[in-house]
């Protein structure tokens, strides 16, 4: 297993301190603070680990989270799980992530036992090229990279565990104004085990990529620009159907609104056969220097 993938798997494999208490480490992936997807994936991993006492298997079908404070990359994160309810069909877990004695993140996750249903439907997958027909993203030339802020240089210089292929690539260094939607194929770059819990945690991690950025498209700004501040405020994720994070998935994203320094983005995630496997929503802070003051 390559280093980026093995590091991510290790990152999502929390240390269990007590029945409901877990500890996770952090990785610097080029963001100033802990990457939001990391906290999402770790919190879901903690919640899933407390389902061991439930007699029948139950799988996460939804999670709703709030980012309260920026996470410190240099410090571990402690996850406290509250076993809120174990009912006849559903279980609920609430997870609080703590650093330096303060909560930095809240998550509520709901789990359901497997059951059939009479009615099923889904929106069709957009008609886009398959990932094999899209060229892989090329690295920036060294002279271009040196012009960027240090945080962006670290982001672009690292080899991440996921591979992304944009259906409609955008020049993030000189972003044009365009409608607020995009389609991105992604997958874990290496095959991993079959445990559904692992693939759900991996998808939670990856779902934070490219989502909020879609809300910047109509304004011709980018996270790469030093005067642009972006941060996730909340995140929701629904799991609909089985999937593998190490097989190609299409992230279809749109942003219906941006206002008051906040942008809203929604995503639908399909497998390559057109099955809708998950949906997301996120609101985040988007500020441009000299436009707003604290």
Q: Within 10 Å of residue 168's Cβ, how many Cβ atoms?
A: 13
Q: What are phi and psi of 42, to 5 degrees?
A: -70, -40
Q: In the chain, what's the furthest Cα-to-Cα distance?
A: 60
- Is 110 catalytic? The answer is no
Q: Which of 42, 99, 252, 282 is catalytic?
A: 282
Are 250 and 275 spatial neighbours (Cβ–Cβ below 8 Å)?
A: no
Tokens matching residue 132:
């094999």
How many Å apart are CA 199 and CA 245, to the nearest integer? Answer: 5
- Is 52 catalytic? The answer is no
Q: Which of 222, 232, 252, 279 is catalytic?
A: 232
- Is 122 catalytic? The answer is no
How many Å apart are CA 168 and CA 186, to the nearest integer? Answer: 14
Q: Which of 208, 246, 255, 279 is catalytic?
A: 208
Active site residues: 208, 232, 282
């Amino acid at each position: 297993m390559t280093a980026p993938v093995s590091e991510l798997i290790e990152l999502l494999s929390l240390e269990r301190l007590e029945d409901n208490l877990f500890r996770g480490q952090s990785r610097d992936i080029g963001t100033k603070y802990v990457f939001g997807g990391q906290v999402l994936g770790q919190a879901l991993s903690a919640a899933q680990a407390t389902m061991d006492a439930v007699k029948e298997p139950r799988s996460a079908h939804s999670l709703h989270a709030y980012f309260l404070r920026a996470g410190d990359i240099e410090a571990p994160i402690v996850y406290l799980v509250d076993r809120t309810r174990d009912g006849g069909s559903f279980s609920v877990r609430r997870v609080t992530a703590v650093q330096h004695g303060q909560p930095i993140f809240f998550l509520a996750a709901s789990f359901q036992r497997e059951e059939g249903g009479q009615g099923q439907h889904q929106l069709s997958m957009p008609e886009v090229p398959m990932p094999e027909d899209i060229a892989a993203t090329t690295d920036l030339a060294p002279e271009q990279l040196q012009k960027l802020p240090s945080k962006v240089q670290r982001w672009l210089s690292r080899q991440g565990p996921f591979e992304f292929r944009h259906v409609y690539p955008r020049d993030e260094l000189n972003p044009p104004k365009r409608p607020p939607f995009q389609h991105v194929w992604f997958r874990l770059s290496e095959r991993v085990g079959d445990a559904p819990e692992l693939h759900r945690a991996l998808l939670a991690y990856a779902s934070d990529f490219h989502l909020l950025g879609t809300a910047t498209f109509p304004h011709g700004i980018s996270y790469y620009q030093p005067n642009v501040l972006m941060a996730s405020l909340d995140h929701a994720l629904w799991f609909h159907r089985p999937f593998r994070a190490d097989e190609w998935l299409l992230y279809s994203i749109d942003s219906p609104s941006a206002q008051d320094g906040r942008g809203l983005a929604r995503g639908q995630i399909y497998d390559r056969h057109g099955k809708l496997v998950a949906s997301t929503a996120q609101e985040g802070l988007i500020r441009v220097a000299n436009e707003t003051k604290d």
